[in-house]
A and B are shown apart, each in its own frame.
Chain A
Amino acid sequence: MPTRDPDDAAPSAVELDRRAYRRRQTTRSVLVSLVSTIVFAVVIWFAVVNTPGFDRVRQSFFDLDVAIASWPRVIEGLWVNIQVLAVAVVGVALLGTLLAVMRTLRGPVFFPLRALAAGYTDLFRGLPLIIVLFLVGFGVPGLELFPRNSAQFWGTIALILTYSAYVSEVFRAGIEAVHPSQRLAARSLGLSHGQTLRIVVLPQAVRKVTPALMNDFVAMQKDVGLISVLGVVDAVRAAQIETAQNFNFTPYVLAGLLFVLLALPMIRLTDWYTARLREREQIGSIV
């Protein structure tokens, strides 16, 4: 056995050999994946280009002139989507939290509230959003109970109703993931039930479920386009109108691209945040 100097951190011959091997392996892996990606892309490209109807599809879906012509109307519609989204996010956050808190209340006194919240989430998680849109958008105004509101208003309400059911379930999982001892500690300090929830439980719950909440937000970002079924001239509806005028589907592709661009920052942020959480939880682990 050679004597060891604890301060001498120079890598041994064995370690140098291992590093060299790993470097060679990495280089090989990168080359293999690069080449296979290129081959795959080229094959797909030629397969599509050589289909019999390719030229016609290109003309009716990817016509740059039509895209430019329909741009003002579609972008104006997208602005409507963004407005609806902004209001819906706030509404979903409020209603979702309320429902989640209602479902976590304990004690027989709160049975009606618990049951109500449970029934609500069951119903709206089961109902397709498009049906909720029709029912709320055409049915509720028909009651003539509320003052006349725009289709955009009722579409936003429908989105809030559906998405708060999903979000409340995510929240509830988060609330239940906060260890009961945290509640005990808070109550032992004299904090009331409400203070404990607000100051101790909810902030920790939200942190635990942030990636899931961000995912729901991304999903809602595109489902905002469904309010077009109520006649709201949003990006999708605008694209539909343009399409009908030009007999060309390019506006749909344009609207789709814009939705993707809108969602992209949030998608990336979600990925980044999830990765950071994972890193924190398994420091030093390689599997």
Chain B
Amino acid sequence: MSGADVGDGAAGIPPHGDAVLRVEGLRKSFGTTPVLRGIDLEVREHEVVALIGASGSGKSTLLRCITLLESIDDGQIFLRGDDISDPRVDADRVRARMGVVFQQFNLFPHIRVIDNVTLAARRVLRVPRAEAEATALALLERVGLADKAREYPDRLSGGQQQRAAIVRAVATNPEVLLLDEITSALDPELVAEVLDLVRELAAEGTTIVMATHEMEFARDVADRVVFLDAGVVLEQGPAADLFAHPREERTRAFLARFRGGRDA
């Protein structure tokens, strides 16, 4: 199923629908350093898009701009056709429509796992506590963390924390799930349990944009791979194609370095 084309409904993947997310001409500088230099990107419903590229290529910044956690210098971002980069939109309401998982988990250490998961539902969507907890417990059960629901996050292993963070992000049924190098802070033996969960979510049709250094995983799970280089989308395409036949010299160099570094 890794080779499914964009819009291809075969091989068990739900067919890709309308554009959930569209980025046009996005620019962002930190001081005088340009980080994003005109990004165009479209993500359709049920699609899984992997952002790859060297450190500093702008993957994380792009995700943070999309979630309105970072101001942008130019360009537009659309979520289901709404221009969310318009300063007149309520950014809090927009953020509630997306799910974000961070590299460092960023669970709230002073509240229990269950409260972490239900926080957005209770405080933003105003779901009654009992209802929010029922939903959260069902999700935690599914990822094998039901027995940790009443624990504080620091009692969990890194992999468990990251799975809880993913549950927190999907608990409110976001329109798109954004994953920012979610396995980079994990010990190698804990990476699999987190990636398996992402794989499941993808198989269920969750729309996902993920910045990742896990090339094997990207090849396996992503419908499309986007290679960022120096703040522009240098090359993109179906995962199998891009990994097997990169067109650009810099993509080839990047992938070669990766194979040399990891698989060798």
B15-23, B78-86, B116-124, B222-230 - the one binding chain A: B116-124
For residue B168, CB closer than 8 A to chain A, the reply is: yes
Contacts of B107 in A (CB 8 A): 185
Contacts of A195 in B (CB 8 A): 123-124
Contacts of B250 in A (CB 8 A): none
* Per-residue interface assignment for chain A, residues 178 to 208, with 1 indicating a CB less than 8 Å from any chain B CB and 0 otherwise: 0001101111111110010001100110010
Task: Give which listed residue, A182, A188, A192, A203, contacts B67 with CB less than 8 A.
Answer: A188
Q: Report yes or no: B108 in contact with A182, Cβ–Cβ below 8 A.
A: yes
Contacts of A192 in B (CB 8 A): 92
Task: Give which listed residue, A185, A190, A200, A204, contacts B102 with CB less than 8 A.
Answer: A185
Q: Report yes or no: A181 in contact with B119, Cβ–Cβ below 8 A.
A: no
User: Given that A182-B106, A182-B108, A204-B110 are known contacts, is A188 also in contact with B98, CB under 8 Å in the complex?
Assistant: yes
Contacts of B93 in A (CB 8 A): 190
Contacts of B100 in A (CB 8 A): 185, 188
For residue B2, CB closer than 8 A to chain A, the reply is: no
B99 to chain A, nearest CB (A): 8
The secondary-structure label for the interface of chain A is helix
Q: How many residues of A contact B (CB 8 A)?
A: 17
Q: Report yes or no: B109 in contact with A189, Cβ–Cβ below 8 A.
A: no
* Per-residue interface assignment for chain B, residues 162 to 174, with 1 indicating a CB less than 8 Å from any chain A CB and 0 otherwise: 0000001000100
Contacts of B195 in A (CB 8 A): none
A207 to B97, CA, bound (A): 31
For residue B29, CB closer than 8 A to chain A, the reply is: no
Q: Report yes or no: A189 in contact with B120, Cβ–Cβ below 8 A.
A: yes
A195 to B122, CA, bound (A): 12
Extra A-B contacts (14), CB below 8 Å, given A185-B106, A190-B125, A191-B92: A181-B102, A182-B108, A184-B64, A184-B69, A185-B100, A188-B100, A189-B95, A189-B96, A189-B120, A189-B168, A190-B97, A190-B124, A199-B123, A203-B110
